[in-house]
Amino acid sequence: MDLSSLTNTPGARKRAKRVGRGCGSGMGKTSTRGHKGQNARKGHKQKLGFEGGQMSLVRRLPKRGFNNARFNAKALAVNLSDLEKKFEAGAEITVESLAKAGFSDNKAPKIKLLAKGEITKKFIVKVPCSAAAKAKIEAAGGSVA
């Protein structure tokens, strides 16, 4: 086999349509453009995607693509009253211990401790917390790292 023996498969190449070459060709006179009208004129090009004033396909289809929702993760709010119910006095509060207690499934990496509720037990807190929550924990004798 050599380059001289290579040929196209049948139907792979199509001859160009030669329009405007007399009535006998079947494509004379109007050159397949029809009679009059906007599309019969020379130099006419429609805007890409223009459908004669009908709502274009691009505008009919729903939008798809990038959405920032995946990356805009909200912090999981945990209240002091929840800690009071679930943990013993002197417990160390970490992301892992909160996951074990059933507060999160480790899919919410951001956790914030809020000051809602009262606290009487001492806790060693190693998660981000609000200023009011920090004050309540320290007032109960606990510590925030």
Predicted confidence (pLDDT) per residue in 106-145, tens digit: 665 688 999 999 999 999 999 999 999 999 999 999 999 8
Is residue 131 a contact partner of residue 98, using CB atoms and an 8 Å limit?
A: no
Q: Indicate the pTM of the whole model.
A: 0.50
Among 77, 76, 81, residue whose Cα is nearest residue 137 = 81
73-144: CATH, from 1.10.3720.10, 3.100.10.10, 3.40.50.1820, 3.30.450.20: 3.100.10.10
Q: pLDDT by residue (tens digit) across 80-110?
A: 999 999 999 989 998 888 888 888 766 656 8
Burial classification of residue 80, based on how many CB atoms lie within 10 Å of its CB (0-12 exposed, 13-18 middle, 19 or more buried): buried
Q: pLDDT by residue (tens digit) across 42-92?
A: 888 888 888 989 999 999 999 888 888 778 777 888 999 999 999 999 899
Location of each CATH 3.100.10.10 domain in the chain: 73-144
